[in-house]
């Protein structure tokens, strides 16, 4: 999963940050490719925002180093780093107009008046903010404030753009359109971007690379496809997308799930007979109806939820619950009783149990 050294623009090398007794960032190493959009994805409190603040220079690491273009950033205050941050709550200067907010970074760099005006106008038009120059932040909509914050950061032409949950203050519909806008601009400008979010859908939609964090550690780094289709552990599988996590046991070359005996998928790691495993299966990998031999199970409907485009069933299989979607329920009555389910064995993942498997997630699915 490691990236080619020559293309790493930002290198995070064994960084540790403690607050009091807790390790917010517990030894993180991560390479961020030049011009890429890398997302740090994780639940709240996983240390992702701290990681971003470490790169921006708002906090200093207790151990490890951060290199930009191979240059150590240790001891460099934020105002000397070539990074720029878009804050979760935007942090626009409330006493300055849109123009002055965007121009602030340039003023500090002592640009001439005409060059400054020219550049601000250009950036504002890039962000579709023309006509709002004289407004104050409080007179703007959430989406507009978001764009001003992005404009304010981009105008100083930082080497690295840092975005801390930039969409969390927008309503759900706007979030989708703004994230596409951000991705579009990021591609056009070609700026190396680190994007922090807790929203897995957002991460899947806009990233070149995703780093999934949990408990101050990076659990997996990869493309969105790799993260979703080949999760490294039960946590990643459960956090990114919907998943069924089941307990099972290895029996020779088979998988024992309650009273069921299933053949082991071909791509599984070598496991000893009798070992407990956790098994992950995404709802869309399960079909209601008969399939090929060895990939069928019987189950009884426990509950169902009508969601419009799909019907989501909870089905009891061998004493555990499975979530299964019926993708095209139109015109059919809702199903009850005992069903036959079939699944694609190549999309089944399993890991040895007992580590720190978050089986509690199962009920929240």
Partner 1 sequence: MAKATAVQAWSGSSRVRALTRDPLGLLAIVFVVGCLAVFVIFPVVRVLAQPGLTEWWRLFTDPRWLRLGGNTFLIAVLSTASAVALGFLFAYATSRPDVPLRHLFKLVAILPLVSPPFVGGLAFILLFGRRGLVTYSLLGLSGDIYGWHGLWMVQTLAFFPIAYLSLAGVLRRINPTLEYAAQDLGVHGLRLFCTVTLPLATPGLASAALLVGIYALSDFGNPMLVGGAFKVLATETYTQITGWGDIGMAAALSAALLLPSLVLFVLQRYWVEGRSYATITGKGSFADPPPMSPAVRWVVFTACSLVALVLLATYAVVFVGAFARTWGVNWRPTLENFEYTVFRGSQLWNSIRFAGTAALGGSFFAVIAAFLVHRKRFPGRAAVDFAAVLPAALPGTLIGVGYILAFNTPPLALTGTGAIIVAAMLFRTIPVGYQAAVAGLAQIAPSIEEGAADLGARPLRTFWDVTLPLIRSAFTSALIFTFIRSMNTLSAVVFLISPGNVVASASILALAEHGDWGQASAMAASLMSAVFLLLLAFRLITGGRLRLFEL
Q: Which residues bind partner 1 (CB under 8 A)?
A: 16, 18, 56, 58, 60, 62-63, 75, 77-80, 83-85, 87-89, 91-95, 104-105, 108-109, 152-153, 156
CB of 105 to partner 1, least distance (A): 4
Distance CA 360, CA 57 (A): 37
| Nearest CB to partner 1, comparing residues 89 and 276 | 89
Q: Which letter does DSSP use for residue 47 in this model?
A: S
**Could you tell me if residue 214 is left (phi over 0), alpha (psi between -120 and 50 degrees) or otherwise beta?**
beta
| Nearest CB to partner 1, comparing residues 88 and 168 | 88
Distance CA 312, CA 332 (A): 14
| Nearest CB to partner 1, comparing residues 140 and 280 | 140
14 in Cβ contact with 65 (< 8 Å):
yes
| Nearest CB to partner 1, comparing residues 111 and 339 | 111
Distance CA 162, CA 78 (A): 12
Among the residues of 193-307, which ranges form H helices?
Answer: 200-206, 224-229, 234-239
CB of 97 to partner 1, least distance (A): 13
317 in Cβ contact with 298 (< 8 Å):
yes
CB of 12 to partner 1, least distance (A): 17
Beta-strand pair 8-19/63-68 = antiparallel
In total, the chain counts a number of residues equal to 365
Taking every pair of Cα atoms in the chain, the longest distance, rounded to a whole number of angstroms, is: 78
Contacts for 260-269: CB closer than 8 Å, 24+ residues apart: 260/297, 260/317, 260/318, 262/294, 262/295, 262/297, 263/294, 263/345, 265/345, 265/346, 265/348, 265/350, 266/345, 266/346, 267/346, 268/350
| Nearest CB to partner 1, comparing residues 156 and 339 | 156
CB of 78 to partner 1, least distance (A): 4
| Through-space distance between the first and last CA atoms of the chain, rounded to whole angstroms | 29
CB of 152 to partner 1, least distance (A): 7
| Nearest CB to partner 1, comparing residues 91 and 271 | 91
| Nearest CB to partner 1, comparing residues 163 and 280 | 163
| Nearest CB to partner 1, comparing residues 104 and 174 | 104
| Nearest CB to partner 1, comparing residues 196 and 227 | 196
CB of 60 to partner 1, least distance (A): 5
Using a 10 angstrom Cβ sphere, with 0-12 exposed, 13-18 middle and 19 or more buried, the burial of residue 169 is middle
CB of 44 to partner 1, least distance (A): 17
What beta strand segments (E) does 138-243 contain? 160-164, 192-197, 209-214, 217-222
Distance CA 230, CA 363 (A): 22
CB of 79 to partner 1, least distance (A): 5
CB of 91 to partner 1, least distance (A): 4
CB of 89 to partner 1, least distance (A): 6
Give the CA distances from residue 257 to residues 200, 248, 362, in Å, rounded to whole numbers and listed in that order: 29, 5, 16
| Nearest CB to partner 1, comparing residues 165 and 326 | 165
Q: Could you give the 3-state DSSP secondary structure of residue 303?
A: strand
């Amino acid at each position: 999963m490691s990236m080619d050294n020559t293309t790493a623009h930002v290198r995070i090398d064994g960084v540790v940050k403690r607050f009091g007794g807790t390790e917010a960032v517990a030894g993180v190493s991560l390479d961020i490719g030049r011009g890429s959009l890398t997302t740090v994805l994780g639940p709240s409190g996983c240390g992702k925002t701290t990681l971003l603040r470490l790169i921006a220079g708002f906090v200093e690491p207790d151990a490890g180093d951060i290199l930009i273009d191979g240059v150590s950033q240790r001891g460099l205050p934020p105002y000397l780093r070539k990074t720029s941050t878009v804050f979760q709550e935007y942090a626009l200067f409330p006493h300055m107009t849109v123009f002055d907010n965007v121009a602030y970074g340039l003023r500090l760099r002592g640009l001439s008046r005409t060059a400054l005006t020219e550049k601000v106008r250009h950036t504002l038009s890039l962000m579709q903010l023309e006509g709002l120059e004289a407004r104050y932040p409080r007179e703007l909509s959430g989406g507009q404030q978001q764009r001003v914050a992005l404009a304010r950061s981009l105008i100083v032409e930082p080497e690295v753009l840092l975005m801390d949950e930039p969409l969390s203050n927008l309503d759900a519909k706007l979030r989708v359109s703004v994230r596409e806008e951000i991705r579009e601009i990021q591609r056009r400008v070609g700026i190396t971007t680190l994007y922090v979010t807790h929203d897995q859908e957002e991460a899947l939609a806009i990233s070149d690379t995703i780093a999934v964090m949990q408990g101050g550690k990076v659990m997996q780094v990869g493309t969105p496809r790799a993260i979703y289709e080949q999760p490294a552990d039960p946590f990643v599988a459960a956090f990114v997308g919907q998943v069924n996590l089941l307990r099972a046991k290895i029996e020779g070359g088979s998988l024992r799930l309650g009273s069921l005996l299933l053949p082991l998928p071909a791509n599984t790691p070598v496991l000893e007979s009798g070992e407990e495993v956790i098994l992950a299966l995404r709802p869309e990998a399960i079909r209601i109806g008969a399939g090929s031999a060895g990939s069928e199970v019987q189950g009884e409907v426990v509950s169902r939820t009508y969601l419009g485009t799909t019907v989501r069933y909870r089905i009891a299989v061998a004493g555990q619950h499975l979530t299964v979607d019926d993708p095209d329920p139109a015109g059919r009555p809702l199903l009850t009783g005992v069903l036959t389910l079939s699944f694609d064995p190549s999309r089944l993942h399993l890991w040895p149990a007992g580590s720190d498997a978050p089986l509690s997630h199962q009920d929240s699915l």
